[in-house]
Amino acid sequence: MPAAIEIINLTKTYRSLFGLRQVTAVDNLNLHVDEGEVFGFLGPNGAGKTTTIKILLGILYPSSGECKLFGEQFTSSSAFAPETADSRLKASIGYLPEGPYFHEFLTGREVLAFYGRLYGLGGQNLKKRISETLEIVGMEYAADRLVQHYSKGMRQRVGLAQALLSDPKLLILDEPTVGLDPIARREIRDLLLKLKGLGKTLFICSHELSEVEMVCERIGIVNHGKLIKYGKLVDLAFKDRAVEIHVASLSDETRKKLEALNCITGKHETGLTSIRLPARQAVYDVLDVLKASSTDVVEVLSQKESLEDLFIRTVKEEVA
């Protein structure tokens, strides 16, 4: 099965008018998102996330490298590349921009009708899709109000509705829960999980790391345009994290053997003896020592790192 998104050696450099100054927003980025996957694309402000998204959507053009969507080349740095393939592939993408802005003179329903027509929808089919998406995002009650009277959260919901209009295979969501109250945030999160259940591919760019942690399977962290962490969330969160083993008691001989393995032993607040392992790779060696000495193992605790900790640590390490 081809990847939903494949980014190959993507570089985007912004140049000033006479090329005197240049800023590399995306630097040789490689990324692979499978079909049906929920991928979190993270990074601090100015890391190159939105630039990457815009390239994926054909709003920006890369300086070099390429993007493939569902196995087909989508954007190219070539000035002569045809637009036709881009146009066809765009039909399978739904996009929610960060802080979506709509024509103020339209009502929510008219906004959806406008974007629906751009997808080639019309007549009863368009009306049906508008009703369905309004219901999904919980905006039926305000659909006939002018957008200029909408709150930030309401605009966000209409933005999500327009992204869902064409029932796309791939959803690119830039900060989907920003500006929403906790109830709406939960509703959007549930909706994303529901979309995931329907087999949609979700590419989520967000600073709400707890949301990402709950929804995404894999993440990529970018900084200064470079991909600095990439993989399954569960692997990244547990990788290189300390393991602590609690035992009922420890003989001096076993203690010495454990210290030879660079373990730190001590008294835990529960009265048990704790053994802190230097790295999770040492867990089997330590368990072998404990088994040989017939030590009573009470629990083995693997300290999982939250996505927020992982994100901050990764970015700080990269800066250092």
Q: Which residues contact other proteins by CB under 8 A?
A: 14, 54, 57-61, 79, 83-84, 86-91, 93, 95, 97, 99-103, 105-106, 114-115, 117-120, 159, 162
Cβ proximity to other proteins: between 162 and 206 the closer is: 162
CB of 194 vs other proteins, minimal distance in Å: 23
Nearer to other proteins, 48 or 97 (CB): 97
Q: How far is the CB of 49 from other proteins (least distance, A)?
A: 14
CB of 214 to other proteins, least distance (A): 26
Least distance (Å) between residue 134 CB and other proteins = 17
Give the nearest distance from C-beta 219 to other proteins in angstroms: 23
Task: Choose between 134 and 233: whose C-beta lies nearer to other proteins.
Answer: 134
Nearer to other proteins, 174 or 211 (CB): 174
Residue among 83 and 240 whose Cβ is closer to other proteins:
83
Candidates 157, 159, 123, 152; CA nearest to 140 is 157
